[in-house]
Amino acid sequence: MMKTNNAYFENLRQIAEKWEQEKAERKDRKAQILEAYGWDSEELKAWYEEDQAATYPIPQGACKAYRAFTNTLEHGEDEIEMNDFLWDREVDDFVDALRKAGFDSFIYTNQSTAVMENLHGFAKAGCTMTGLTTITRRERRFGEYRDEEILGIHFTL
């Protein structure tokens, strides 16, 4: 069974929570500005500039690595399973996040029509395909848990 706590992913979770809190505070500030100054105010224009400049602090590839980690824990698997498609711009961040989190391998189980793009992206990011594998994933279907056999490709980082 995979270790349930990971300092790197815990830090990402905290960063995301802080971002959501700041986003909610910005939204509240907008409402206050609207009430006090109205729609045509310079204060509201400044708020829109501030809101536009606020970018999410975690790259999408790292977000997908975090999701893969939490899904893996939820399914009771022994090794990180990535069952989502990664866009070209996300692959390096995904691989980097897994490395920073202390992992040395993962299993790729995505079955979309663009799998080849990800396989080549993993190779370009320094991953090595070590072979085909089958994993057992606990799935909840119709209110009960069942073990599902999932086909995958094993990669080392």
Residue 39 C-beta-side C-alpha neighbours within 13 Å: 0
Cα–Cα distance for residue pair 147/157, rounded to 1 Å: 27
Alpha-helix residue ranges (DSSP H) falling in the chain: 7-37, 42-53, 60-75, 88-100, 115-124
Count of structural domains, the chain: 2
According to DSSP, the β-strands at 105-108 and 81-82 are parallel
Same domain, yes or no: 29 and 45 = yes
* CATH number assigned to the domain comprising residue 146: 3.30.110
Q: Is the pTM of this model over 0.85?
A: yes
The pLDDT of 130-149, averaged and rounded, is 88
Token pair in block for residue 21: 């809190």
Cα–Cα distance for residue pair 76/137, rounded to 1 Å: 7
Same domain, yes or no: 70 and 39 = no
pLDDT tens track for 60-117: 999 999 999 999 998 888 899 999 999 999 999 999 999 999 999 999 999 998 899 9
